[in-house]
Amino acid sequence: MALADTLTAVGTVALARCGARPFGTHLFSVWPGAAFAATAFPVRCTPGDNLAIHVAVAQAPPGSALVVDVAGEAEYGYVDEILAVAASTRGVTGIILDGCVRDIAAIARCALPVFGAGVAVREAGHEAGGSVGRQISMAAGGPVPLPVRRGDWIVADDDGVVCLPRGQVSAIIAATVDSVSREREIIDAVYAGESTLDLLDLDPSRVTGWEGRAEHRARRSRALGALRDTAAHGAESHSTGRSRFSPRSAVGDPRD
């Protein structure tokens, strides 16, 4: 499985849990179901101007994603139908920008994954400059801005957008594959009727009004036993090559 396919398959939630850095929660996909994983081509616009995005579309390597810093002035439609069609035609995988977009129905028809901060009818200018290919800073899921460099991996889906810094991709994806396997075991146990309190070893006595202490202890013992059996079976399946995800292609990817 190619690295991009593996990253898309495990998803942004699992990647963020295992070390990928989340972008701000203000970003959303222009059309539902949009998802991609690609290396970043950073872009910095001057406020209210998208000339740098036009330059990036012409210059970015096919298969990369534009990650656009709009210099704090979000209330313009920086990406429109023209740019979306141009980017798709040039082989750009997707666009992430911390500003607004417009022509969202046309962007959806184009099927280019675009993630932005909102929708604005106001048109951006095309003459004020900016930069392409140089490190930028994006709003992140915390107080510290997220640096994005050319060659970092970007993964985006309906749950959000994350960045995997180059040089850390192998470690993050290996931890994520293990995490996804563990989560699958828990979900299977929940389908079988087990309680999340037991499976996640939670302490319900901290919640006022909790009843059922003795029943909880008995269920917890059964649930932990079931998880041990599932883990043992999973280890056996992994040894025979039947694991759901394989990190081999990602760990050995020369771009990490």
Q: Check pLDDT > 90 for residue 247.
A: no
Model pTM score: 0.82
pLDDT band of 223, cuts 50, 70, 90: low
**The domain at 20-167 falls in which architecture?**
3-Layer(bba) Sandwich (3.50)
CA–CA gap between residue 41 and residue 25 (Å, rounded): 21
Handedness of CA 17, 11, 45, 76 (dihedral sign): negative
Where do the structural domains in the chain lie, given as residue ranges? 20-167, 178-251
Handedness of CA 174, 176, 178, 181 (dihedral sign): negative
Q: What is the chain's mean pLDDT, rounded?
A: 87
Is 165 in contact with 89 (CB distance < 8 Å)?
Answer: no
Task: Dig out the tokens for 172 from the structure.
Answer: 């993050």
